[in-house]
């Protein structure tokens, strides 16, 4: 299943529903922000809190592209064994695909916030931050995960259309690409017809 948000508050109930239907899996969270606050502006259901709640529920978490994280969130991530691959490391060392894949379980749910992409590519988000990932880095990550893991579900969140048509097309293309990867993985599409 693919869900389109909205903000990141949709992820917590989506992941719960997937676990109820499918059993256990790990989470791949691709984002500029860690979203590990216990609450934000008085709400535990905030867009800034879903991964705090999912960690409390025992989900293994891998975060890629993070570039905004406070000390409390970092302490929580270390305490809970979050595998953290911040954007600055990706830019300095390259995308550590083998490490990311090793940190994930056999079954994976992907949650991608479009602000993981650099705002030069993706300005149409609510909270853009410089220093983000490239489109190719995100595609390479998705392709590797689909190649090596069973992807049980995905959500793509926080597109905020603001007249930047290229950004909206970039978001659409990324979702389209991910759906195609799922189609190949599930056998709905043949490799011979694979345009990617």
Give the model's pLDDT for residue 191: 62
pLDDT of 14 higher than 80: yes
**Alpha-carbon distances, residue 167 vs 40, 70, 104 (angstroms):** 27, 28, 29
Q: What are phi and psi of 142, to 5 degrees?
A: -60, -45
Asked: is 2-183 a CATH 3.30.300.10 domain? The reply is no
Q: What are phi and psi of 2, to 5 degrees?
A: -120, 130
Q: Where are the beta strands (DSSP E) in 36-87?
A: 61-64, 83-85
Return the closest-CA partner of residue 15 out of 63, 51, 66. 51
Contact in structure between 132 and 114 (CB atoms under 8 Å) = no
Choose between 81 and 46: higher pLDDT.
81
Give the model's pLDDT for residue 194: 53
Give the model's pLDDT for residue 5: 87
The edge-to-edge listing of strands for the beta sheet with 150-157 is 2-4, 150-157, 107-113, 26-30, 61-64, 83-85
Q: Where are the domains of the chain?
A: 2-183
Query: Helices 165-186 and 135-148, interaxial angle, to 10°?
Result: 10
Overall pTM > 0.85: yes
Calpha distance 134→65 (Å, rounded): 10
- Identify how many contiguous H helices and E strands the chain contains and give both numbers: 7, 6
Average pLDDT taken over every residue of the chain: 93
Give the model's pLDDT for residue 186: 75
Choose between 88 and 164: higher pLDDT.
88
Calpha distance 85→66 (Å, rounded): 7
Calpha distance 101→117 (Å, rounded): 20
Give the model's pLDDT for residue 44: 76
Q: What are phi and psi of 92, to 5 degrees?
A: -80, -40
Give the model's pLDDT for residue 190: 64
pLDDT per residue as tens digits for the range 63-112: 999 999 999 999 999 999 999 999 999 999 999 999 999 999 999 999 99
**Alpha-carbon distances, residue 79 vs 63, 74, 76 (angstroms):** 15, 9, 5
pLDDT per residue as tens digits for the range 107-140: 999 999 999 999 999 999 999 999 999 999 999 9
**Structural tokens at position 31:** 């984002």
Give the model's pLDDT for residue 163: 86
Give the model's pLDDT for residue 185: 81
């Amino acid at each position: 299943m693919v869900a389109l948000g909205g903000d990141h508050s949709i992820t917590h109930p989506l992941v719960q529903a997937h676990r109820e239907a499918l059993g256990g899996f790990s989470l791949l969270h691709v984002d500029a922000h860690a979203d590990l606050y216990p609450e934000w502006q008085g709400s535990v259901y905030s867009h800034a809190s879903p991964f705090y709640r999912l960690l409390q529920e025992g989900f293994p978490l891998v975060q890629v592209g993070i570039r905004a994280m406070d000390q409390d969130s970092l302490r929580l991530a270390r305490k809970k064994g979050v595998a953290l691959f911040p954007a600055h490391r990706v830019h300095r060392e390259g995308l550590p695909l083998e490490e990311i894949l090793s940190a994930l379980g056999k079954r994976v749910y992907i949650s991608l916030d479009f602000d993981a992409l650099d705002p030069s590519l993706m300005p149409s988000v609510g909270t853009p931050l410089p220093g983000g990932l490239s489109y190719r880095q995100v595609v390479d990550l998705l392709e590797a995960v689909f190649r090596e893991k069973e992807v049980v579900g995905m959500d793509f969140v926080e597109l905020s259309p603001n007249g930047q048509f290229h950004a909206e097309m970039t978001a659409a293309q990324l979702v389209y690409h991910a759906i195609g990867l799922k189609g190949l993985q599930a056998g709905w599409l043949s490799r011979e017809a694979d345009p990617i």
